[in-house]
Amino acid sequence: MNLTFASTILSEEEAVEILESVIKQSQAEDVFVSLSSQESALSRFSENQISQNIQKNKFDLTITSYFGKRSASASTTELDPDTIAQTLRRCEDLARFAPEDPEWVELLAPQTYEARQPAFDLATADLSPLARGEIVQQVCALSEKAGIEGSGTFSTNASLQAIANSAGLRGCDRTTRTDFSFTARQDNGSSWSQITAWGVEQLPIIETTEQVIKKAIASRNPQEVKPGDYTVIFEPSAMAGLLPWVVWNMDARAADEGRSFMSRTDDSGQPIGNRVGEELFSPLVQIQRNPAHSLLQSGRFFGNGLGNSYLEVVRDGIPQTLSYNRYWAQQQGQEPNGSLFPIVMGGGEQTIDDLIAETERGILVTRAWYVRYVNPRTLEVTGMTRDGTFWIEEGKIAHPIKNLRFNQSLPAMLKNLEAVGVTKRCGASVIPACKVNNFHFSSITDSI
């Protein structure tokens, strides 16, 4: 067993050297190169014991060569210079015969990215298999002592992303990330949580384990409630299963072409622009793209080279912008801004217990699961609650209830937002607990 471990991702100097070499060797009119070097590790456990322990190193180099409006891409996962040179030649050969791109845009000029450095936690990058195993062992011991069946994963990732083009664009970032996911089951009771951070010491693994175990035991023998419209309190992890669907669908082209809930149409249904500037949601809805948020501290640029910096997406319930790629921004006379992620939704000081205490009757949802489109144009989705759903009566948790399927317009859900609570990092987003009125449940499900 390895007692120590040291990350072997490429250094920034090594990455830059590879990119400069490709650009120097290029025979195309223009060239764009992106490089990714990652080292990931994962410990999986089930039935209160470790079942898998893996370590993976991955290198990926993608080259896009341009001859006028013709282009092609080729990739390699090997580092040696000969293979990289062969990949470059293959890319150029393909580009010479590719059809012209009707949505071609010239290479992105050099960008000025934020001066900050993304979070790179050396302790996380160098965490050994033994250290991961010891943490998982504590989780399994707590599960066994409580008489529940525990399963989940504990993972770490260290990565480097670098980009360059023949017009002078350069960018390089290193980041770390760690995730802990835990599911506890006892009889017909279940609960779950996933926590994410840029450093392993930020993960409250034992505290989370104890909370999930407690909730799983409390969720046994659920009762039925009739489908209908209810006041719902979504834990941050549950809202994180819904809110990104709204932001994914705030694409400028889809809106302008009449394919989005953000589309404006005339009486005949023809698109006449978008709904930026309209009060679509509750004034409590505040959404930003904020990669510099203290819980995220993520990368400074997107894979296409556009900068990833602070951007107001929704202010006081009013959409402020949409996502513009470079082609559509050029067509519409706008500035390209790339993706609207990572999401940071503004919260408040109320805890989930506070939100419950001020709720006369309602439902507490731990997780929104298997969310899928019903109508992409109106952004109505369907999905199910899972892993701990509870009935609220007179400001208290009364009893567990059987899981429910929902059919709900997400813009309407945000319009009916009544209160927001404390925020939490959920994956690559920061989301608060949310209290929503008139959320529609269509049926009872047999899922646990």
Task: Identify whether the C-beta of residue 251 lies closer than 8 Å to the C-beta of residue 260.
Answer: yes
Judge whether residue 346 has pLDDT over 50. Answer: yes
Q: Which structural domain, as residue segments, surrounds residue 363?
A: 222-448
DSSP bridge pairs for 443: 405
Mean pLDDT of the 176-204 span: 97
Decide if 40 is inside a domain. Answer: yes
Last residue of a domain, one of 183, 212, 241: 212
One domain for residues 102 and 37: yes
The average confidence (pLDDT) of the chain is: 96
Q: Which residue, among 172, 146, 186, 132, has the nearest Cα to 9 in the 3D structure?
A: 172
One domain for residues 246 and 184: no
**How is 117-163 classified by DSSP, letter by letter?**
-----HHHHT--HHHHHHHHHHHHHHHHHHT-EEEEEEEEEEEEEEE
Q: What is the pLDDT of residue 2?
A: 44
Decide if 413 is inside a domain. Answer: yes
Decide if 315 is inside a domain. Answer: yes
Decide if 3 is inside a domain. Answer: no
One domain for residues 258 and 180: no
Task: Identify whether the C-beta of residue 379 lies closer than 8 Å to the C-beta of residue 249.
Answer: yes
One domain for residues 180 and 81: yes
Model confidence over 289-341: pLDDT tens digits?
999 999 999 999 999 999 999 999 999 999 999 999 999 999 999 999 999 99
Mean pLDDT of the 148-160 span: 98
One domain for residues 229 and 323: yes
Model confidence over 77-108: pLDDT tens digits?
999 999 999 999 999 999 999 999 999 999 99
In 314-393, which residue ranges form alpha helices assigned H by DSSP? 326-332, 352-357
One domain for residues 365 and 276: yes
One domain for residues 182 and 259: no
Last residue of a domain, one of 212, 245, 271: 212
One domain for residues 259 and 180: no
In 127-266, which residue ranges form alpha helices assigned H by DSSP? 129-146, 205-218, 236-239, 243-248, 252-256
Q: What is the pLDDT of residue 1?
A: 40
Decide if 1 is inside a domain. Answer: no
What three-state secondary structure class fits 105? coil
Last residue of a domain, one of 212, 230, 263: 212
CATH for 127 = 3.30.2290.10
Confidence bin at 269 (pLDDT 50/70/90): confident
Q: Structure pTM?
A: 0.95
Least confident of 140-144, 267-271, 413-417: 267-271
Decide if 6 is inside a domain. Answer: no
One domain for residues 25 and 47: yes
One domain for residues 283 and 311: yes
One domain for residues 187 and 239: no
**What angle, 0 to 180 degrees and rounded to 10, lies between the N-to-C axes of helices 12-25 and 81-97?**
50
Decide if 437 is inside a domain. Answer: yes
Residue 404 CB-density burial (10 A; 0-12 exposed, 13-18 middle, 19+ buried): buried
First vs last C-alpha separation in the chain: 38
Domain count, the chain: 2
Mean pLDDT of the 129-155 span: 97
Decide if 261 is inside a domain. Answer: yes
One domain for residues 297 and 185: no
